[in-house]
DNA sequence: CTTCAACAAGGAGAATTTTCATGGGCTGGG
DNA sequence: CCCAGCCCATGAAAATTCTCCTTGTTGAAG
C-alpha cells in the first residue's frame, strides 16, 4: 500500500511518516506543492494525505490536478481548524475524508485504513484466483485450502499481481510498487527475481503451478490456465 | 475497557474519573460537547458516561451522532432530576441506562459494570478459545482448567486479541488500546514487547503454546492452529 | 544452423530491519 | 514507605530483504 504524505511542516511530516511506516504502509513524503505535484504525476498512490496550506501553492490545486487525471487515488485532507471553506471545497473536488489539525495518530490511522479498505478490491472480504484464496483482512493466503505464510514483500507482490490479473507487469513497475521512490532508474531490479522465486516456490510447494507466467523481455503476469 | 466521561463540571469530572480509574477502567474525560465529539469520532469506547447538559451543546446530539455512526458503544446517561424529557429522549435514541444526579459512586460503578457486561462479547459469560477460558465478570483466565493471574495490561491485551480473532493487530493499535490517548507519534511502542512476552510466558507455562502469532513487520494475531 | 547478447533463474550470504529478552528506574496504590 | 506493575533502554537474536555471482534460457542476427 503506497501512501504519499504532503505536509510542509518538517516535524509533523517526519512524525507522520514514521507512524505510517510503522503501520506497515509504504509511505513517502513531499514537503511542498512542487515536490508533491512531481510525485503525483510520476507514481501511483493508493492514498494521499494532503495538507491544504503549502508554501508554494494550494493543496486544492493538487487535488484538482489529480482528479482531472482521473486518478483512483484516495485522498485524505489534513487542514487547520479555521479553513472550513477549503474543507468543503476539498470534498466537492473528490476528497474522501478530512481531518482537522491537531489530530491524533490513531485517528489518522483509522481514516487511512478506512479509505484503503474501501478501495482495495472494492472492500472484498476474499479474493479467489484458481486454487488461491486470499483473505486481506487476516493477511492470510490459502492454496488448495492450506494456509501458507508469506513474507511481507511476497504478500505485496502477490496482491499486486492479483490486482492486475492477466495484465503484464514489468520489473520496474513491480519494483516501484514494492519499494516506492526508494528505487532509481539506475538501480538493478534483480531482487525482484528473488521475491518472485520465493513466491513461486511457496505456491508450487502446495501444488499450484504456473500461476505467474514470464513474458520474456517484458515482465510477468498471472495466467488463467 | 475504555470509558469516556462527558461532564462539564470540573469537580465532579475529576472525582468520577478517579473513581473509574480506581475501578480499573481506562478512563478519559471530555469537558464539553466539542471535546467529546472529537474523542467519540477519534476512538472507540466500550462505554460513554454522558451528561446531557453541556455548555456548548446537548448530549443528546452526541448520542444521535454516535448511534448514526452505528457505534456499538454503550451509553449511560447522567442527568439532573428535572430533565425527565431528556431522559426519555435519550433512551429512545439508544442509550442503555440513565442515572439521576446526585448518585452514589457505587451505584455508578454497578451500572457501568452492567452495561459493559452486556456488551462485552455479546454478554457472554465466558469466552473460550482453544485451551483458554476467560470469565470477564471475574476477570479470570483459565488455561486447561488452571487459573492464571495476569496483570491488568496483560489481561486487556489478551481480551483485545480475543475480540479480534485472526485479525492482525499492529503495535500501535495495541498501544492505543492499552493506553488510550496517552500515546503519541514520537513514542516508541517497544513496551508492547514486554507485555506480550509476559502474557506469552504465562500462557506457555500452562502448556498453551503459539496462541499469539507474530506477523513479522506487521503485527500480531491470534492463530487458530 | 550457429553464435551472441540480453534476460531470467537460482544459491549463498551480507546488510538491514524487526522482534525479543533482560534489567533498571519510575510511579501509584496500599 | 514499600512493592507490584509498568515503561523504557540496551544489546542480542531472528527474520527478512537485498546483492552478488554463476548458470541456464531465449530470441534474433549473421
Read off the C-alpha cell for B46: 466500550
- Of A118, A21, A23, A26, nearest to A73 by C-alpha is A118
Q: Which helix (H) or strand (E) holds A57?
A: strand A57-58
Q: How many angstroms separate the CA atoms of A48 and A2, rounded?
A: 9
Q: Tell if the CB–CB gap between A139 and B186 is shorter than 8 Å.
A: no
Rounded Cα–Cα distance for residues B104 and B64 (Å): 27
Is residue A104 classed as helix, strand or coil in its secondary structure? Answer: coil
Q: Is A205 on the interface with B (CB under 8 A)?
A: no
CB count within 10 Å of CB A128 equals 11
Task: Choose the most confident range, by mean pLDDT, from B80-89, B162-171, B176-185.
Answer: B162-171
List of protein residues whose beta carbon is under 7 A from strand D: A 149, 151-154, 178-179, 187-188, 190-191, 193-195, 216-217; B 149, 151-154, 178-179, 187-188, 190-191, 193-195, 216-217
Contact yes or no for B218 and A24 at CB 8 A = yes
Q: What's the rounded Cα separation, in Å, for the pair A60 and A89?
A: 8
Q: Are residues A64 and A97 in the same domain?
A: yes
Judgement on whether residues B29 and B81 belong to the same structural domain of the protein: yes
Take residue B157 and report the three cell numbers written for it: 491485551
Scanning every strand, the nucleotide with its C1' closest to B193's CA turns out to be: C20
User: Angle CA(B165)–CA(A2)–CA(B40) in degrees, nearest 5?
Assistant: 55
Could you say which of B121, B151, B180 is where a domain stops?
A: B121
Same domain (yes/no): A112, A128:
no
Nucleotides of C under 7 A from a protein CB: 6-12, 17-23, 29-30
Give the domain-ending residue among A66, A93, A121: A121
Question: What are the CA-CA distances from residue B4 to residues A61, B126, B196 (Å)?
Answer: 39, 25, 26
Q: Please tell me which residue, B184 or B61, carries the higher pLDDT value.
A: B61
DSSP A159-224: HHHHHSTT--B-HHHHHHHHHGGG--TTS--HHHHHHHHHHHHHHHHTT--S-EEEETTTEEEE--
Judging contacts by C-beta atoms under 8 Å, the chain B residues touching residue A159 are none
Torsion of CA B62, B63, B67, B69, to 10 degrees: 10
**Do A170 and A217 fall within a single domain?**
yes
Which residues of chain B lie closer than 8 angstroms to A148, CB-CB? none
Q: Does A109 contact B172 at a Cβ distance shorter than 8 Å?
A: yes
More confidently predicted of B186 and B201: B201
A104 and A175 part of one domain? no
The answer to whether B205 and B218 are in contact (CB under 8 A) is no
Are residue B46 and residue B117 in the same domain, yes or no? Answer: yes
* B156 pLDDT above the threshold of 70: yes
Contacts of residue B166 in chain A, CB cutoff 8 Å? 138, 140
User: What percent of chain B lies above the pLDDT cut of 70?
Assistant: 93
**Domains contained in chain A, number:** 2
Q: Which domain holds residue A30?
A: 2-121
The number of C-alpha atoms within 13 Å of A115 and in the hemisphere containing its C-beta is 26
A165 shares a domain with A147 = yes
Burial B179-188 (b: 16+ CB within 10 A, else e): bbbebebeee
A151 CA: nearest nucleotide by C1': D16
pLDDT in tens, B1-51: 888 999 999 888 988 888 888 888 888 889 999 889 878 877 778 899 999
Q: Which residue has the cell 509476559?
A: B198
Interface test with A, best of B185, B186, B190, B223 (most A CBs within 10 A): B185
Same domain, A6 and A96: yes
Q: Is A109 on the interface with B (CB under 8 A)?
A: yes
- Say which of A18, A23, A107 has its CB closest to residue B170: A23
Last residue of a domain, one of B106, B121, B136: B121
Residue A31 φ then ψ, to 5°: -95, -20
Do B216 and A15 make contact, defined as CB atoms within 8 angstroms? no
What does the alpha-carbon distance between residue B136 and residue A30 come to, in Å, rounded to a whole number?
47
Give the model's confidence band at B185: pLDDT under 50 very low, under 70 low, under 90 confident, else very high.
low
Residue A116 half-sphere exposure toward CB, CA atoms < 13 A: 22
- Percent pLDDT > 90 in chain B is 28
**Cα–Cα distance, B146 to B206 (Å, whole number):** 8
Residues of chain A neighbouring B43 (CB-CB closer than 8 A): 106-107
Among B43, B34, B18, which Cα is nearest to B175's?
A: B43
Cβ–Cβ below 8 Å for A104 and B173: no
Are A133 and A108 in a shared domain? no
Q: Based on the domain organization, do A32 and A138 belong to the same domain? A: no
pLDDT, residue B119, reads 77
Residue with cell 469516556: B4
Q: How is residue B224 written as a grid cell?
A: 487458530
Per-residue pLDDT band for B105 (boundaries 50, 70, 90) equals confident
> Rounded CA gap, A150 and A203, in Å?
10
A48: left (phi over 0), alpha (psi -120 to 50) or beta: beta
Clarify whether residues B103 and B14 are in a common domain: yes
- What are the DSSP calls for chain B, one per residue? -EEEEE---HHHHHHHHHHHHHTT-EEEEE-SHHHHHHHHHH---SEEEEESEETTEEHHHHHHHHHHTT---EEEEEE-TT-HHHHHHHHHTT--EEEESS--HHHHHHHHHHHHHHHGGGG-S-EEETTEEEETTTTEEEETTEEE---HHHHHHHHHHHHSTT--B-HHHHHHHHHGGG--TT---THHHHHHHHHHHHHHHTT--S-EEEETTTEEEE---
CATH number at residue B144: 1.10.10.10
Cell of A176: 516501484
Q: What is the pLDDT of residue A141?
A: 92
The enclosing domain of B47 has a CATH number of: 3.40.50.2300
| pLDDT values of chain A reduced to their tens digit, one per residue, 225 residues | 889 999 998 878 888 888 888 778 888 899 999 999 999 988 888 899 999 889 998 888 999 988 888 888 999 998 876 666 766 776 778 888 888 777 777 778 778 888 887 777 666 778 899 889 999 888 899 998 888 999 999 999 999 999 888 889 988 889 988 888 776 666 778 899 999 999 999 988 887 777 898 988 888 998 876
Looking at the predicted structure, is the pLDDT value of residue B121 above 70? no
From B108, B113, B100, B112, select the one nearest B53 (Cα to Cα).
B100
DSSP 8-state code for residue A102: S
B114 shares its domain with B130? no
Closest nucleotide relative to residue A189's CA, C1' based: D18
Amino acid at each position: 500500500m503506497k501512501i504519499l504524505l504532503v505536509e510542509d511542516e518538517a516535524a509533523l511530516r517526519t512524525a507522520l511518516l514514521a507512524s505510517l511506516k510503522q503501520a506497515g504502509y509504504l509511505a513517502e513524503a513531499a514537503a511542498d506543492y512542487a515536490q508533491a505535484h512531481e510525485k503525483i504525476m510520476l507514481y501511483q498512490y493508493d492514498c494521499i494525505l494532503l495538507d491544504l496550506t503549502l508554501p508554494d501553492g494550494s493543496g486544492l490545486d493538487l487535488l484538482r490536478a489529480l482528479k482531472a487525471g482521473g486518478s483512483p487515488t484516495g485522498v485524505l485532507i489534513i487542514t487547520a481548524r479555521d479553513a472550513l471553506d477549503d474543507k468543503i471545497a476539498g470534498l466537492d473536488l473528490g476528497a474522501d475524508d478530512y481531518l482537522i489539525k491537531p489530530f491524533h495518530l490513531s485517528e489518522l490511522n483509522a481514516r487511512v485504513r478506512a479509505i484503503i479498505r474501501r478501495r482495495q478490491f472494492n472492500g472484498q472480504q476474499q479474493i479467489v484466483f484458481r486454487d488461491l484464496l486470499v483473505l486481506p483482512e487476516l493477511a492470510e493466503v490459502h492454496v488448495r485450502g492450506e494456509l501458507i505464510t508469506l513474507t511481507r514483500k511476497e504478500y505485496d507482490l502477490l496482491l499486486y499481481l492479483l490486482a492486475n490479473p492477466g495484465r503484464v507487469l514489468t520489473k520496474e513497475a513491480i519494483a516501484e510498487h514494492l519499494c516506492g521512490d526508494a528505487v532509481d532508474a539506475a538501480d538493478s531490479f534483480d531482487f525482484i527475481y528473488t521475491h518472485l522465486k520465493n513466491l513461486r516456490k511457496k505456491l508450487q510447494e502446495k501444488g499450484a503451478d504456473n500461476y505467474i507466467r514470464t513474458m520474456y523481455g517484458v515482465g510477468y503476469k498471472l495466467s488463467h490456465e
